[in-house]
Amino acid sequence: MCPTSKPGMRLKSMAFLIAALGPAGVVIPLLNSCSTTPSAVMVPLKIPGAHYVGNKACLDCHAEMVREFPASPHARVHFEDATMVGETGCESCHGPGSQHIETGGNAKFIINPGNDPTSCFQCHLDVQAEFDLPQHHPVIEGRMSCVPCHDPHGGDILKPEGGLAMARQNESCAQCHREQTRPFVFEHEAMREGCAVCHDPHGSMDRKMLVESDPNLCLRCHAQVQSPGSSGAILIGNVDHTPFLQVGTCWTAGCHTAIHGSNVDPLLRY
């Protein structure tokens, strides 16, 4: 934690610093470990020439979405005495809708988070940071969006949190990753809990978006014990895995290479 100081002390320190810089009178900005970045400031989305009209104006054309929307947590982001226009309702994500309405629904005059995640990142700053990690889904590159995995309007009641969270995760992932999520004779039980048990769906430092890149990922479920006696052997499933763990992970060592499931081997091998 950075130490605190009184205003007078800070002014004296600054005066000493300026004096120490000499007669040149050049003041150099200094950064130290106590420097902090300012908090994020949320501003209404803008569309040139457009103004906010409110949710009721959206009802005429988008009746189904307006009807479903109250079930979504997005609808609960509401402040009775909000001082900032557009911070609640449809326009908080889609931007001011006046020109969209005046032009008969022209898509050029409305923000579609299904094409551009910028409006999502206005609130989900932590997720935006995850997409900047080395391994990530290509959202910021524009090759996909948040919508295939999340239902922002909350119409899918089978998803938790009003449709926003990735429930039925394997089904959501299966839209693109069909080979990994197809049925297998010998399944990997972790698949029952969802792909996110092993993968971070937004981004990761590790290859293939894994939450961990070493055998510790597998050892979360597959308990590791040390054999009794002085041998020091590492047993997993009553099998000595000591030499295998020295080679690499459970799959890169050439053992359990069919990590998502196998049709020929109960030990998940091809």
Residue 99 lies in a domain: yes
Q: What is the mean pLDDT of residues 244-251?
A: 78
Q: pLDDT digits over 64-118, tens only?
A: 888 888 777 777 765 555 555 555 678 888 988 999 999 999 999 999 988 888 8
The answer to whether residues 255 and 215 belong to one domain is: yes
Has residue 69 been placed in a domain? Answer: yes
Q: What confidence tier does 184 reach under pLDDT thresholds 50, 70, 90?
A: very high
Verify that 155 and 208 share a domain, yes or no.
no
Are 158 and 184 within one domain?
no
Task: Look up the domain containing 96 and give its range.
Answer: 55-124+149-163
- CA atoms within 13 A of residue 206's CA, in its CB half-sphere: 12
Give pLDDT tens digits for 126-158.
Answer: 999 999 999 999 999 989 888 888 878 876 655
What b/e readout covers 211-230, taking b as 16+ CB neighbours within 10 angstroms?
ebeebebbbeeeeeeeeeee
Instruction: Point out the domain boundary residue: 110, 135, 163.
Output: 163
Do 112 and 195 lie in one domain? The reply is no
Percent residues over pLDDT 70 in the chain: 73
User: Do 158 and 232 belong to one domain?
Assistant: no
Q: Can you tell me the distance from the alpha carbon of 218 to that of 213, in angstroms, rounded to the nearest whole number?
A: 10
Q: Is residue 186 assigned to a domain?
A: yes
The total domain count for the chain is 2
Task: Look at residue 204 and give its three-state secondary structure.
Answer: strand
pLDDT digits (tens, 9 = 90+) for 156-170: 655 554 445 555 666
Residue 246 in any domain: the answer is yes
Q: Could you identify the residue written with the tokens 């094409």?
A: 115
| 250: exposed, middle or buried (Cβ count in 10 Å: 0-12, 13-18, 19+) | buried
Query: Other C-beta atoms within 10 Å of 153: how many?
Result: 24
